[in-house]
Homo-oligomer: A and B are copies of this chain.
């Protein structure tokens, strides 16, 4: 439920949503990034807002020695790159071939004159904040199984195709999102498969069908309030 502009669990990309954010007629252009390409870098000047038409994006921060923390994954329909300051605080990269719509930031400056815009930005920032807050609990206090389970539940809820989760990201991406080693992610996934919680559809293990959501929720130590707080 991260940064989604509409409220329904399953949604389709909506090309008018950035318009809704800023008024009308501000969507500048579209752009396509190849797999692995950087969309913007940490501490770069924030020039645009982005909405994903198709593809998937990760935002992350790096430590000097290469350790990486992914803060969020963005899927079709999601808006990212919102900054209330001059510079981006993350690197954003296309996980797979990704098309985004761009909006010039100057067109969406929160300011006294345009309360609607400010309000919409506030909503998006609040949503980001809620997601980050939930993730704090996950990273700080949950076990590897709980982390992977929570990740799968999140992806399931965000999944456009009901019934099957198609993961665009690698095990390494998932690991860097959950604060685990990629091998640990793999092991937990295998364990969940062995426990009949899920099955893999394809050889690459990127397509998943959940067989037992109840069990998965239990494994996640799911807290009611996690991401379901109404705005």
A140–B179 CB distance below 8 A? yes
> Per-position contact with B for A7-21: 1 when CB-CB < 8 Å, else 0?
000000000000000
Closest to A61 in B: B137
Supposing A84-B231, A118-B119, A137-B69 touch, asked if A225 and B42 sit within 8 A by C-beta, the answer is: yes
> From residue A72, how far is it (CB to closest CB) to chain B in Å?
9
Determine the distance from Cα of A121 to Cα of B119 in the docked complex, in whole angstroms.
10
The one of B63, B115, B136, B221 in contact with A111, judged by C-beta atoms closer than 8 angstroms, is B115
A118–B125 CB distance below 8 A? no
User: What number of A residues sit within 8 Å (CB to CB) of B?
Assistant: 51
A140–B110 CB distance below 8 A? no
Closest to A67 in B: B141
| Cβ-based interface call for A229 (8 A) | yes
| Cβ-based interface call for A68 (8 A) | yes
Interface residues of A in 205-231 (CB under 8 A from B): 221, 223, 225, 229-231
| Cβ-based interface call for A132 (8 A) | yes
| Cβ-based interface call for A107 (8 A) | no
Contacts of A113 on B, CB cut-off 8 Å?
A: 115
Determine the distance from Cα of A179 to Cα of B89 in the docked complex, in whole angstroms.
23
| Cβ-based interface call for A161 (8 A) | no
Closest to A122 in B: B122
A84–B123 CB distance below 8 A? yes
The one of B112, B122, B141, B225 in contact with A84, judged by C-beta atoms closer than 8 angstroms, is B122
20 CB < 8 A contacts A-B = A43-B229, A61-B133, A63-B137, A63-B142, A63-B223, A65-B221, A69-B137, A71-B136, A85-B229, A85-B231, A87-B230, A89-B225, A111-B119, A112-B116, A114-B115, A129-B132, A132-B132, A132-B133, A132-B136, A139-B179
Given contacts A69-B137, A87-B230, A125-B129, 19 further A-B contacts (CB under 8 A): A61-B137, A61-B223, A63-B141, A63-B223, A64-B221, A68-B141, A71-B133, A85-B126, A85-B231, A89-B225, A110-B122, A112-B119, A122-B122, A128-B129, A129-B129, A132-B132, A132-B133, A136-B136, A140-B176
